[in-house]
Amino acid sequence: MVRRARRRIAVLTGAIITLLVTVVGGVAYVVMTHTQHEQVRRTLRYEAAHGDLSNASACTWLYSPGATPLASGPDGFPVLDDLDRARRTREAVERTVRRDHAVYLVRTQVRADGNVVQAVFDMRFQLADRTRLWWVLGIAEAVGLLAAAVTGAVLGRLAVSPLAEALTRQRRFVTDASHELRTPITRVHTRAQMLSRQAAAEGLPDPHRAGLARLVGSAGRLGEVLDDLLLSASLDAGPARPAERRPVDLSALARSVVAEEADRARDARLTVAVEAPPRPLCVDGVETALRRAIGELLSNAISHTPEGGRIEVTLTRARGTAGLTVADTGPGFEPAEAERLFERFHRGSGGGRYGLGLALLREVVTQHGGTVAATGRAGHGARFTIRLPECAPEHAPAPAHRVRAGRW
């Protein structure tokens, strides 16, 4: 986030300086061009009306029928068609003529004494000035971009430093608070489980046992929230270092996660099926984070699938990517909510609350260079698909253990 903010400030600063240089340069070019054009036209009008045929102004040549042209004049002049037209119509004729890689402004008119005169002005010096102006503007643009890069980097660092410090303090506070709360909450959860088992053994009334069961569930969910906060803080700290990554067999990992949730799925009377390719499906990543991501999808499916439902975990390989899909036969969701499911503490239209789990799932997948998408329809189940870059097969490690694909 801090790096993005710095880059954004640098880009905006560069864009503003570039725009200013471009606008100023454009205005200067337009003003210069207009001024030159008006000056040339005034000179041309004066020479055509009053100039001396044998001694014209600099860069100007005069032609008239019957008069001897200057020896230094450019080739291809006078323009006879303009002389004939001016003689017939008695109106001045102006045009731009290109000859021998040069540009000339030509004015032909009838003087007060009845003679037809054609004035030719060489524009090469004016065009050279414009070319030099473009070079100056290009150099100014390059210097401006360099100054913008330096200024943007300095401003970005100065402007974002307080934000970076605040984020660091916030992350440290979340991590410290979560660690400090973990032990007492674990004790509460354990004590609540013991009381719940004693209540069942001693035959306490159902309301008491139900209350203790709710207490056990609340303590467990509180522990999960702490785990989510710790994971969020570690993800905010940045992507995993290369040393922490290693090839992970996604198929074996998915089977392991399914095995861990077997008891929960069995208690909910759910059928869980795993379908995976025969060869290892490897991705480069952090095994614990990927396990948490797959576990979140499976836990989410179990929580939202009614008794007797079915959950399918499918692993595929396609165009250099490894895909993992978890589909259930639960109530599903409206298609318009697909993207919002990954927002923190999003509450669906049906009242279901998704907490931090799916939001952290997306962060884990993004940190691994992958994508996650949700599809579904209300009343027709939900489908979550993770796609990650696949490892080369030769780097694939042998799985530590395999759990046979099956159903519970």
Cα(93)–Cα(85) distance, integer angstroms: 8
Closest CA to 376 of 344, 345, 352: 352
pTM for the model stands at 0.48
Cα(381)–Cα(368) distance, integer angstroms: 27
Average pLDDT over residues 173-202: 77
Cα(118)–Cα(108) distance, integer angstroms: 4
Compare 136 and 151 and report the one with higher pLDDT. 136
Bond preceding residue 78 cis, omega within 30 of 0: yes
Contact yes or no for 311/328 (Cβ under 8 A): yes
Contact yes or no for 2/160 (Cβ under 8 A): yes
Out of 137-151, 177-191, 263-277, 352-366, the most confident range is 263-277
pLDDT of residue 134: 84
In order of their start, the domains of the chain are 2-129 (no CATH), 243-395 (3.30.565.10)
For residue 76, pLDDT beyond 90: no
pLDDT of residue 1: 65
For residue 375, pLDDT beyond 60: yes
Structure tokens at 109: 């008119």
Average pLDDT over residues 287-300: 86
Name every residue whose Cβ is closer than 8 Å to that of residue 289 and which is 6 or more positions away in sequence: 231, 240, 364, 367, 368
Q: Which residues pair with 312 in a beta bridge?
A: 273, 327
Contact yes or no for 203/38 (Cβ under 8 A): no
The pLDDT tens digits for 22-58 are 888 888 888 888 888 888 889 889 988 888 887 878 8
The pLDDT tens digits for 90-134 are 999 999 898 888 899 999 999 888 889 989 998 888 888 888 888
Closest CA to 280 of 368, 384, 393: 393
Q: How confident is the model at residue 387 (pLDDT cuts 50, 70, 90)?
A: very high
Average pLDDT over residues 141-160: 75
Q: How confident is the model at residue 160 (pLDDT cuts 50, 70, 90)?
A: low
Largest Cα–Cα separation, the chain: 134
Helices 206-236, 357-367: crossing angle, 10 deg rounding: 30
Share of the chain above pLDDT 70, in %: 83
For residue 236, pLDDT beyond 70: no
pLDDT of residue 391: 80
- Mean pLDDT over the full length of the chain: 80
Angstrom distances, CA of residue 100 to CA of 29, 75, 122:
25, 9, 12
Q: What's the sign of the alpha-carbon dihedral 32, 35, 40, 43?
A: negative
Out of 62-66, 116-120, 140-144, 356-360, pick the least confident: 356-360
The pLDDT tens digits for 248-266 are 999 999 998 898 888 888 8
Closest CA to 231 of 162, 182, 190, 160: 182
pLDDT of residue 93: 92
Name every residue whose Cβ is closer than 8 Å to that of residue 332 and which is 6 or more positions away in sequence: 376, 377, 378, 379, 380, 381, 382
Average pLDDT over residues 175-204: 78
Share of the chain above pLDDT 90, in %: 17
For residue 400, pLDDT beyond 50: no
pLDDT of residue 234: 59
Closest CA to 348 of 362, 365, 364, 335: 335
Compare 338 and 382 and report the one with higher pLDDT. 382
Contact yes or no for 130/119 (Cβ under 8 A): no
Cα(305)–Cα(382) distance, integer angstroms: 9
pLDDT of residue 143: 82
Q: Which helix (H) or strand (E) holds 208?
A: helix 206-236
Name every residue whose Cβ is closer than 8 Å to that of residue 329 and which is 6 or more positions away in sequence: 305, 306, 309, 310, 311, 381
pLDDT of residue 395: 46
**Chain Cα centroid distance, residue 238:** 18
Helix (H, G, I), strand (E, B) or coil at 67: coil
